[in-house]
Structure formats: C-alpha cells, structure tokens
Amino acid sequence: MKKSSRLPDLRNLGVNLRLLMIVNSMLLLGAVLLSTNFNQFFIVFTSASAIAQPMLLLSLLGLYIAYPQLIKLPYWQGLLAIIGIVLLSCSSVYTLISQLLIFNDLPTQTRVLFFALMLTAITFYYFNLHHRAYSPALVEARLQALQARIRPHFLFNSINAVLSLIRSQPKQAETALEDMADLFRVLMADNRDLVPLAQEIALCRQYLALEKLRLDERLMIAWQIDNMPPDALIPPLLLQPLLENAVYHGIEPLATGGTITIQIYTKRKEVHLVISNPYNTQKSHQAGNKMALSNIKERLMLHFDLEASLKSTQSNSEYQVHIILPYTQK
C-alpha cells in the first residue's frame, strides 16, 4: 500500500510543470525589478536563465531519481534532503560554468546558492499549502460515504432483505451480513492511503450484492474488467460512490431497471475507469449538487495532480463517468 506523503510527487508531470513555472516566474519577476527598460530586461532575464535553467534541470533530475527514498523519510527530513540535492546540483553547475569561463560577470557562488535556497523554500511552501487545501477532501469523502451508507433507504432495505432470507436461504443471509460488516469496516477506516484496484473492486462487488438483494432483476451488472490491472493504486472509495449514484439516480427510478456497466482497462500506462448507467431526466431522483464528483476530482488532484482527470457525460438516455489516472504500483 502506498503511503500518502506531504511531499509532492516529484515524478509527477503536473508537479514538475508547476516547479518549472514557479522558478521561471521568479526569474521573470527578478528581471523586471532589476531592469529599467525592455532591452535591459531581456539581457538580465536571458543571462539569469542561462545559469538557472541547467541548475533547475539537474535538480529535477536528482529529485526524480531520489524520490522513492525521499517519501520514506519524515516530512522535515525529506524536505532537508531535497534542499541538499538542490544546493548540490546548483553548486555543481556553477562550478562547471565558472571553469568554462562562459560568463564574464558571474555572480558569487554564495549568492547563487542563497537564491536557490529561497526559491526552494518558496516552492515547497506552495506545495505544502496545496496539500493542506486538498487534504480535507479525504475526510469529507469518508464522511459522505458513511452518511450515504446509513441513510434509511439503504440501511433499512438491506436489513429487510437479509431478514427475508434468514429462514429460506440462511447462507445467503450470512453472506449479506458479512458484506455489510465489510462495508462499514472500510468506511470507518482512515482512508488516506492509495489501495490496489482489486481491493476497491471487491468492495464494489459487496456493495452491489447488497443492492441486488432488494432490486433483484431490476439491477443488472456488466463487468468488463478482463484487462484490469489489479495492482494499480487508486484512492480508496473512488468507484463505490459512483456506483451508488448509478443505482440511486439511474436504476431505482426506472420500473424496468437497467444495466450498470463497469469498464476498466489500461492504455499508454494509464488506467481508464468507465461507469455507465441508464438515466432518465424525467424519472430520475433530484440530481443534487454532484458533491461526490467534486470530491473525487479533489482527491484525484491531491494524489495525481494533472496526470488524472474525471469527465461526466450524458447522452442518449445514458450517463457516463470516465476517470483516467496514471498506472502506479507499489
């Protein structure tokens, strides 16, 4: 299981793009403050970039290589290690540039390293604020899922379905009670770490089995997961709330019911999760404010930044949610 970390994922494309943007924005700001006209601004910015860009690229390479070890450290130790890698990279590039005599007026090494230290501190303070801004989504996801589980229409109907089976099919009733216990156990846990996709699928099967008890033939499930990577790591309670929405808004309002299709596959080192269900705007329950979708988007942003996405579409009496996230493993 992959532990969550306050350090940003230094192998994530979105994180690296943010690093590049922050550093270059600071270079632009510095050039503006040190210039009185455009020609001077251009000279100052290009000169600073010629020194800073090699330092930045070498630092990113060093952080990329060291990231698996960095996330094993406590936050402050990891942050100090990052600063050490950045300063070492900048010092190495500075030494090379000074020996090649590329620049006539090269700033002192102390000044360059101090500037690199300040940029690193500002950048990782930003990422710390970014993490704190999205972290409440983890707690909110657990509370929303728990509230959904204990709402009367699900809990009472599930209990009644189990009671109806106790005499005629005691083994099935026992299995249903075990499924309910497993659901509550997961929902009461501290769901902060990424979990294997196979674990989430098992939870979804248990949830759908309980709904199947009361909806019977009205609820049909089509699993298209032969190409599913079971070891792919995803945020917990990612699919289950979407399936609950599919049942509540798509299947329950229809007298004849319908089919929920779950399709999971990999493509270009990405995991695609697609959930489709029938949807009738005239017969559906009140749509609500799509809080579940918003929460899932926030958690995807927290764990995968720009490498993950969620899109929902409605067409031809069908509602579909399509999630794309990077294929990460333990």
More confident of the two residues 101 and 33: 33
> Confidence band (pLDDT; 50, 70, 90) for 149?
very low
> Which structural domain, as residue segments, surrounds residue 55?
13-133
- Look at the chain and count its residues: 330
Q: Are the C-beta atoms of residues 179 and 209 closer than 8 Å to each other? A: yes
CATH of residue 268's domain is 3.30.565.10
**Segment (H or E) for 166:** helix 152-166
Residue 198 and residue 115 share a domain: no
Q: What is the pLDDT of residues 43-99, one digit of tens each?
A: 888 888 888 899 999 999 999 999 989 988 888 899 999 999 999 999 999 888 888
Among residues 110, 133, 156, the one where a domain terminates is 133
Give the C-alpha separation, 212 to 206, whole Å: 10
Band of residue 324 on the pLDDT scale cut at 50, 70, 90: very high
Q: Rounded to an integer, what distance in angstroms lies between the CA atom of residue 12 and that of residue 9?
A: 5
> Of the residues 133, 148, 180, which one is the last residue of a structural domain?
133
| Cα–Cα distances in angstroms (integers) from residue 198 to residues 194, 201, 225, 302, 329, in the given order | 12, 5, 10, 21, 12
Look up the pTM and report it: 0.69
CB atoms within 10 A of CB 318: 14
Note the pLDDT tens digit of each residue in 256-294: 889 999 999 999 899 999 999 998 766 555 554 466 788
Same domain for 212 and 92 = no
